[in-house]
Structure 1
Amino acid sequence: MTQSSNTARELRLPDFVGVGPGRTGTTWLHEVLKGHVNLPAGIKETDFFTTNYNKGIEWYADHFRDADRIRPTGEINPYFGFPEAAERIAIHIPRCKIICTFRNPVERIYSAYKLWRHYTLTNDPLDVFLVKVPQIIEVTRYATHLPDYRARFGNDRVLVLLNDDLRADPQAYLDRVCDFIGIERYPVPASAAAGEPINSINDLPRFPRAARRARKFMHWLEDKQAYATTNFLEQAGAWKLAFGGGPKFPPLDPAIEARLHELMRPEIDALEQMIGRDLSAWKSPRAKSSRAPAGASAAQGK
C-alpha cells in the first residue's frame, strides 16, 4: 500500500513516535506523557506501521481524531527493528521526530521472552525460543537499525535514551523528552518517580488454558477497536488475574546469559561509538558490572 505524504499532511498524524523497542521503558514513557501530549484514543499501540498497515492511513489518523492543535501529537509504539516501519513512517510523516529507547540488550531479550511466556505465546525454553523467534534478537540490534532512522529523519530529529538513565534519574530523563518534543518540563508523577518498570513481568499464568482464551479475547476486542472494554477489563484487574498468579520467573540462566552477552557485544561496541556513551555496564552480567553508562556527550541523540 502506498500513500503520498501530501495526503498524509491533511490528516492529524503524530509529530513524534517513540519507536522503542519494547521492554525498554515504553509503557513508562506513554504513562508519564498522558495529559501533556495528544496520544492515540483508547489504546497505547496501534501497530499501524507494522501489522495494521493494510488498514490505511485514514484508519491510523482516526486514532488522533480528538487531538487538539495546541499540544504535540505522538505515539509510543515498538516499531524499532522493523525496517518497513521506518520506511512507512518516513513516507507518511517525513518531519516526524523519533524517540529510541534502549536497554541492556540481554535484559531486554529476557524481558521479551518473559512477556511471551506470560501471555502464553510460547512454552519453549529461552534458547529454543530465540531460534524460533529470531525477531527478538533482531530488534535488539540497536547499532544495526539506528542509522536507518538517522538517515531518514536526520540526526537532530532522532533522540536516543537509555533505560539506565531512566532508572538513575527519571526527572532528567523526562526533561530530555520534553525538550525534544517541544513541551514545557513538568514533574514526573509520583507513581512513576522511582523509574521502575510500569509493565514488568514477573510471573506465569496460574491457569495457562484460561490465559490462552483470555489472550484471544483480548486480541479480538482490540481488532474490533473495542478499546473501552479492553481498558475497563484491565482496570478491573481481569488481565492481571488471567495472565498472572503462577510460578515466578527465575533469574536468567548464567550460561545463556554469557552467550547472549557474547552475541550482543559487537552491537554494544558499535552503539558506544554512535551515541558517545560508555556502555561497559552492558558488556557483562550486572552482578559483575553494575555501573550505569556515564558521560552523555553533546552528540547524544543527534
Structure 2
Amino acid sequence: MSLLPDFLVIGAFKAGTTSLHHYLDKHPRIFMTRLKEPNFFAHTKSDPNHDNRNIFPVTDLAQYERLFADARADQLKGEASPGYLPSKQAPRKIKEQIPDIRLLATLRDPVDRAYSHYLMELRNEQISLPPNEAFDAGGYWLEASNYARQLNRYLEHFRPDQIKVVLYEEMRSDADKVVHDILDWLGLPPLDTLNANEQHNRGGVPRSQFMHRALNIARTLPVTRMIPPGVRRRLAGLRDLNLAPAPELSPEESQRWRDYFAEDIERTAQLLDVDLSQWLS
C-alpha cells in the first residue's frame, strides 16, 4: 500500500483549513495526519526559513510517508498544509510524486483573509504596524489573497477535475453541505456526526501578550506536534480563552484593500466560473 496521500488540503491560509482538517478526520474512511501542516511539498533549500522546523517540520520523503503509516487499507489518506497554495514549487513537486492526487482549496473573501492573516502576524509579534501602514508596506500576508495566480500554477500541472475549490463563507454558513459535497467528490459516503459548531484556530487579539507568547512557545516545540490531539486541543483552548475579539477594519481602509484585490477577484471568478461579486462590495 502506498504511504503517500490520496488528497491534500492546500489552503488558503486563514480560510478554514484547520476546521476542514478536523471535519474530514471524523470520517471513518479518512485518515488525516496527526501533524497538521507538514509543509513537505513547500520545502525548498532556497527558502530563508528552510531550516526552521516549526515552518517545515517534515523535509524528507521517508519522514513524510511515516505520517501515514497508521492509515488502514480502506482509508483515504490526507493532510492539510495551507502553505501549498501560495508555494511556487509545491505544484510541480506534488505532480512529480503523486500525479493523480486530489487537491482541495478553500478560498475566503480576500480582504477578510488578509486582515485575519495580518492580525495573526500582529499577535505573534511578526508585524507591529497599524493596518493602513502594513498595507502600504505589503508582504506575504497581503499577497496570499491574490488567488488567481496561485490557482493557475496548479492548473498548469493538474486536470481541473483533480482540483475542488470551496468558499470559506459557504463553509461557515453550511459546513454540513460543504463537507458532504467534498466527501461525494472523494467517492465517500456522507458523514452523520459532523459538529459544525466547533471552532478551530480562532482569531482575535491577546488579552495577555505574555500568556500568548508562552503558549506559542509551547505550541511550536517540536515535541508538541506529536502529542495526543486531546492535549493539543486543551492547549488551543487556553489560547482561545486569552483572545479577545479583534477590532474591525475601518470602512475606508476596507474599501482601499477591496479596490486593490478587485482585479484578482474578477480573474479568480473567471478562472473558476463562479460568482464572486459578494467579494467586490
- State the TM-score, normalized to the length of structure 1: 0.79
Deviations 1:132-154 (A, max 9, x none): 56212222111111121122111
- Structure 2 match to 1:82: 87
Q: Is the CA contact (8 Å cut-off) linking 2:148 and 2:267 kept in structure 1?
A: yes
- Structure 2 match to 1:107: 112
Deviations 1:205-233 (A, max 9, x none): 2332343243233212xx3465216x454
Percent sequence identity is: 26
Structure 1 unpaired stretches of 5+: 1-9, 285-302
Aligned partners of 1:225, 1:199: CA distance in 2, in Å?
16
Q: Is the CA contact (8 Å cut-off) linking 2:6 and 2:76 kept in structure 1?
A: yes
- Once the 2 structures are TM-superposed, how far is the Cα of residue 55 of structure 1 from its aligned partner? 2.3
- Once the 2 structures are TM-superposed, how far is the Cα of residue 57 of structure 1 from its aligned partner? 0.8
CA-based RMSD: 2.4
Q: Trace 1:72-221 onto structure 2 (pairs within 5 A).
A: 72-78=76-82, 79-130=84-135, 134-187=139-192, 189=194, 191-192=195-196, 194=197, 198-202=200-204, 204-220=205-221
- Structure 2 match to 1:227: 226
User: Which of 265, 268, 272 pairs up with 1:271?
Assistant: 268
Q: Trace 1:12-91 onto structure 2 (pairs within 5 A).
A: 12-36=3-27, 37-40=30-33, 42-51=34-43, 52=56, 55-78=59-82, 79-91=84-96
The size of the alignment, in residue pairs, is 266
Structure 2 unpaired stretches of 5+: 44-55
Change (3 A) 1:144 1:205: same
- Once the 2 structures are TM-superposed, how far is the Cα of residue 278 of structure 1 from its aligned partner? 1.5
Partner AA of 2:268 in structure 1: L
Q: Is the CA contact (8 Å cut-off) linking 2:58 and 2:64 kept in structure 1?
A: no
Aligned partners of 2:58, 2:237: CA distance in 1, in Å?
31
Change (3 A) 1:132 1:234: farther
- Once the 2 structures are TM-superposed, how far is the Cα of residue 178 of structure 1 from its aligned partner? 0.6
Q: Is the CA contact (8 Å cut-off) linking 1:118 and 1:201 kept in structure 2?
A: no
Aligned partners of 2:141, 2:25: CA distance in 1, in Å?
28
